[in-house]
Structure 1
Amino acid sequence: MEASKLDILAFGAHADDVEIGMGGTIAKFAAKGKIIGICDLTRAEMSSNGTVETRMQEAKEAANILGVRVRETLDIPDRGLFLNDEYIKEIVRVIRRYRPELVFAPYIIDRHPDHGSCARLVEEAVFSTAIRKYDEQAGLDAHRPKAIYFYMVNGFHKPDFVVNVSEFMDKKLDALHAYESQFRKNAAAFDTPLINGYIETVEARERLFGKEAGVVFAEGFLSKKPLLIDNDLLGEEK
């Protein structure tokens, strides 16, 4: 079956990364009718809590909550996201199949090395996917996304822009709570930062970004290129 063309394709190292960083933005644009996909590079098999099977089911539920149309999981080893041509080719093939307008990845500075490694791999893939002769044998046409932007997972950095997610923060929180194996504290859970008020910390971060922008909640993003504003400087909807 031919893949649907996506407006937004967001990559994460593990299922839940994208929801943490930009779940509200996804819910907002999905509600506007945009076609959105998520690609998790690993099966998160090294996670301290839960199983691969549980995580996959939680990811499916979270995607449904946010209105995501497509979710794929690659088989790159967890904690093995090293920069190599085979992994870049796998990501290039995903981008070429779905031909997204925008690509998102974790910000490179993060306490978890996999998130920075994911950023490097995706950035390399976005560049290579526009090169016609790169990975020609896969039989997929070259594609150049309009931009790549970076969301925050564990970090708190000065964003280059924010998205007002005040009306969609509940969707983001519901999506995060779908990952019970990762965020719920119980007697069987291994003690990690994720089960010690992590969701509340994410909510507080988005509240702070919102306060800076004059709204209740906002998600922050970083960009290596300046944003071009044409005729919506006054905040008017196009």
Structure 2
Amino acid sequence: MKHAYYRAQRIKHDTPQILEINGFTKVLAFIPHPDDEAIGCGGLLSQLVANNIAVKVILVSDGSGGGALPEGTADTRENEFLHSLKILGVHEYELWRLPDGQLDTLELLPSDIAHAVREYCPNIVLSPWYLDMHPDHSAVGYAVKQCADKGECDVLFYEVWSPVECTHILDITESMEIKIKALEAHHTALQYGHYLQALRGLATYRGLYLPFGAMIQYGEAYYFYRKKRSFFNALRSYLKS
């Protein structure tokens, strides 16, 4: 047993690649709750807008806190979400207002998400990590993953409550302040957690994946999930061209 650890199978983890957005043309982002857009992918959203890449954001839940928050909170959080989008520069969005805390119980959620993907035809979808500990996040993530498995879209999974298995890292050093201001718009959420400190800490830690520089760098981590290829999807793409 003394040297048993040498015989253990080693799992190879590749160094995360730097995420380049040059090839992005149309991006659809699914956001489970108000504030997830700032925490999970605020830096990327702001950079997409700055580079004139089409972006649409769908807020899936009503943000009511599943009944745990005071009456009227859903309306307040929705307004905070819209303010956050304005800071990030995003103008196209949908508000589905599905019951917060119950997304994993909604049988039609996967078909609703699949319909939204087919209707918008993005070349990249942003989604919460499908292994996220929050049931609402994983429900959205799994539904998006199903779209990718059917050949509908490539996906970048972002992290909120659970870290992703990082395949790509985005340098958000220059857009970090926008990301912070977007989160600051969520006054309600900030009453219930030290999210600003957590955001800075996570972005600083993820920034360690970036090429070393003299200044502190900030990063956003993503797991890239490539859509499955099939004969029928290839034929459909050919007929569209």
TM-score scaled by structure 2? Answer: 0.74
Which ranges of 4 or more aligned residues in structure 1 deviate by more than 3 Å?
47-50, 125-128
Is 1:65 paired with 2:84?
no
Deviation, structure 1 residue 125:
3.9
> 20, 36, 40: which is aligned to 2:59?
40
Are 2:28 and 2:125, in contact at CA under 8 Å, matched by a contact in 1? yes
* Secondary structure of residue in 1 paired with 2:56: strand
Name the SS of the counterpart of 1:63 in structure 2: helix
The question of whether the paired residues in 2 share the 8 Å contact of 1:19 and 1:172 is answered with yes
Q: Is the 8 A contact 1:40 1:73 kept in 2?
A: yes
- State whether residues 60 and 71 of structure 1, in contact with CA within 8 Å, keep that contact through their aligned partners in structure 2: no
* 1:53–1:84 distance in 2 versus 1, CA, 3 Å: closer
The answer as to whether partners of 1:164 and 1:218 remain within 8 angstroms in 2 is yes
Shift in Å at residue 62 of structure 1?
0.5
Contact 2:58 2:96 (8 Å CA) reproduced: yes
Greater alpha carbon shift after TM alignment, 105-114 vs 32-41:
105-114
Instruction: Report the counterpart of residue 220 of structure 1 in structure 2.
Output: 221
Q: 1:24 aligns with which of 22, 43, 63?
A: 43
The structure 2 residue matched to 1:162, chosen from 146, 164, 169, is 169
Indicate conservation of the 8 Å contact 2:33/2:61, yes or no: yes
C-alpha distance in 2, partners of 1:120/1:62? 26
Alpha-carbon distance in 2 for matches of 1:72, 1:98: 12
Rg larger for: 2
For residue 123 of structure 2, what is the aligned residue in structure 1? 101
Matching residue of 1:82: 104
The residue number in structure 1 matching 2:141 is 119
The 2-side partners of 1:126 and 1:159 are apart by 18
Q: What residue number does 2:17 align with?
A: none
Separation of aligned partners in 2, 1:176 and 1:22:
11
TM-score (norm: length of structure 1):
0.75
Q: Deviations over 1:84-133 (max 9, x none)?
A: 652222212222222211001111233322111111122224555x6xxx
Correspondence for 2:236: none
Alignment of 1:49-64 (within 5 A): 49=69, 51-64=73-86
The answer to whether the 8 A contact 2:63-2:78 is kept is: no
Question: How big is the shift at 1:83?
Answer: 6.3
Question: Which letter maps to 2:209?
Answer: E
Kept in 2: contact 1:79–1:114 (CA 8 A)? yes
Report if the CA contact (8 A) 1:49-1:182 is conserved. Answer: no
CA contact (8 A) 1:27 1:66 kept: yes
Query: Structure 2: which amino acid aligns with 1:12?
Result: I
Shift of the 161–36 alpha-carbon distance from structure 1 to 2, 3 Å rule, reads: same
Counterparts of residues 150-189 of structure 1 (less than 5 Å): 150-183=157-190, 185=191
Aligned match of 1:209: 206
SS of residue paired to 1:223: strand
Q: What is the SS of the residue equivalent to 1:119?
A: helix
Where in structure 2 are there 5+ consecutive unaligned residues? Answer: 1-24, 228-241
> Which residue in 2 is equivalent to 1:138?
none
Q: Are 1:149 and 2:156 matched, yes or no?
A: yes
Cα distance, 1:83–1:100 mapped onto 2, change above 3 Å: farther
What is the alpha-carbon distance in structure 2 between the residues aligned to residue 163 and residue 204 of structure 1?
15
